[in-house]
Structure formats: C-alpha cells, structure tokens
Amino acid sequence: DGIKVVRVIHPKATAAVSLFGGHVLSFTPTGKKETIWMSEKADFTGNKAIRGGIPVCWPWFGKAAEPSHGFARTSEWALNEHRENEEGVIISLTLSDNAETRAIWPHAFHAEILMEVGDTLKVSLVSANTGERAMQIGGALHTYFNIGDIHQTSVSELGNEYIEAGERKPSSGTAKFEGEVDRIYTQAAKAVVIDDAANQRRITVENSGNNGVVVWNPWQALAEGMADMENDGFLTMVCAESAVYDRSVTLQPGEKHTLSTEVICK
C-alpha cells in the first residue's frame, strides 16, 4: 500500500523487508514453510506499526514510555546497502536521529539493522551513541513465528524464571499455551526452541545481546480487541523475542551495542 518493500529471491531462501519500521515481513527457506507470521489485517499504509513479521522495538521495549515499544518500528529506515553471494543476501538498513526522533528521545544515535538471509535468517540491530552524553537503551526483535496450531506448540529452553504482570515467578523452562501468555523470561538459554508439532518442525531461535526472551500470545479475547489482527489469528502465531526488556544497556559516547536473533528452521 504505502510502504517500500525489498524482496529477496535467492536459491537459499525468499524474504521481504519493509523500509517502514526496518521490518522483516517474511522469511521462507527454500523447500520449507514460511517461518514468519503476518496478520491478514496488518496495516501497510505506513501510519501504524505492522502487526506480524519482526517489529523492531527500540530504544525501549514495552509501555515504559510513549510511544509503546519505541519509535523505530514506525520510522522510515534507509536502505544502506545490499550484498549477495551463493550463501545468501545481506541487507543493511540505517536510521539516525532527526528532528522527529529528538522530539521523542533527546539523543544522537546511529542504528543499523543487518539482515542476513540464507539457510537461516539473522537480524542484528546495532545501536551506536553518536552524541556527547550517555544513553540508556532497551528494545526487542519482536518476532512473530508462523506455527500450525498454538494448542500443539511449546517454547522451551526458557530458564527457571519469568516476569508476568510485574511479578517474578518460577518457571519449568517450557511455555505451553491455554490462554494469554505475556512473559519475560529472564534466564533463557542462548537458543530457545519452538516445537511446532502441527507442522512437524522445530524452529531454533538463537539470541545475543539480550537479557530476556519475551513470549507472547494474546489469545482470543485480546485478538478480538485488536483492529489489525483477525479473531482467530492467535491460533497460528507465537512471539519469541530477543529483548533488553528494561533499558539496562548504557552506551557512553562512541559506544555500540548489538541485539540479535537468528531463526533456524529444521
């Protein structure tokens, strides 16, 4: 509709990336099913964040400040470069502070998203402080995974603790879904595993630079309340997000931080 999309067609995989939001819309390794869920009612006008794909929440995660999940997911990113060889395609998108971002968050920064599309998809968000004073950042690569049936899905290797509605709770390390789940796992392994039993596949999500993994499924009532999600959309998606959930990364002038997530589909 209103957004600019980069399409990747390569022997190893196909993918699509929106410059609005610096947002991966699709990733399908050759011979496999689509790995990324996209809402049938997603808004592609560039007026609101896209429901589905990999929203880039930055420079904070969640509702700690306005706008919720930061401004990166509703900013126009620039296509900086792309490179390709027989292993895949690398796309680099960039965003720097401007009058609009400084009105929301008074810092000078340069952010780059590297998307490595091949047998796997690796997304790395590199944040650099280009100003003269320290800045605190958080964020998330808020990946919506495409699954066959939420009732037959689990997410494991999540560690022994999660935070839900502000409360810390012990965890078995595996999330199953029988209702809304909105949890921050604070002790997750580097690689978490989505068992998508209905599709007879496992997706490994390998994260770095994060201090938590957020697992989210809105379930029916919340999905019905969202204008940009179909009522039964919750049945075929689960979010497993590489996150710095609390703005705990401090960048001194000149410093950089990289948050990444890699989607490995077996």
Regarding 37 and contact with ligand TA6 (CB under 6 A), the answer is no
Among 75, 241, 242, 259, binds ligand TA6 (CB under 6 A): 241
Binding mask 136-155 for ligand TA6 (x = CB under 6 A): ------x-------------
**What DSSP line would sit under 250-265, residue for residue?**
EE-TT-EEEEEEEEEE
Report CA dihedral (51, 44, 228, 164) to the nearest 10 degrees: 20
Considering only residues 164 through 183, tell me which ones interact with ligand TA6, judged by CB under 6 A.
182
HEC readout, 5-71: EEEEEECCEEEEEECECCEEEEEEECCCCCCECECCCCCCCCCCCCCECECEEECCCHHHCCCCCEC
DSSP category for residue 102: H
33 Cβ contact partners less than 8 Å away, ≥ 6 residues apart: 146, 199, 201
Residues 179-208: x where in contact with ligand TA6 by CB under 6 A, - otherwise, as a string: ---x--------------------------
Is 66 considered catalytic here?
A: no
Stretch that binds ligand TA6, among 13-21, 22-30, 62-70, 151-159 (CB under 6 A): 62-70
Is residue 214 at the binding interface for ligand TA6, with CB under 6 A as the rule? yes
Judge whether 167 counts as a catalytic residue: no
Binding-site size, ligand TA6 (CB under 6 A): 10
Could you give the C-alpha distances from 179 to 117, 137, 235, in angstroms and in order? Answer: 33, 31, 11
Residue in 142, 151, 224, 262 annotated catalytic: 142
Does 216 participate in binding ligand TA6 (rule CB under 6 A)?
yes
Binding site residues, ligand TA6, CB under 6 A: 49, 62, 68-69, 142, 182, 214, 216, 239, 241
Give the residue numbers annotated as catalytic, written as ranges.
142, 241
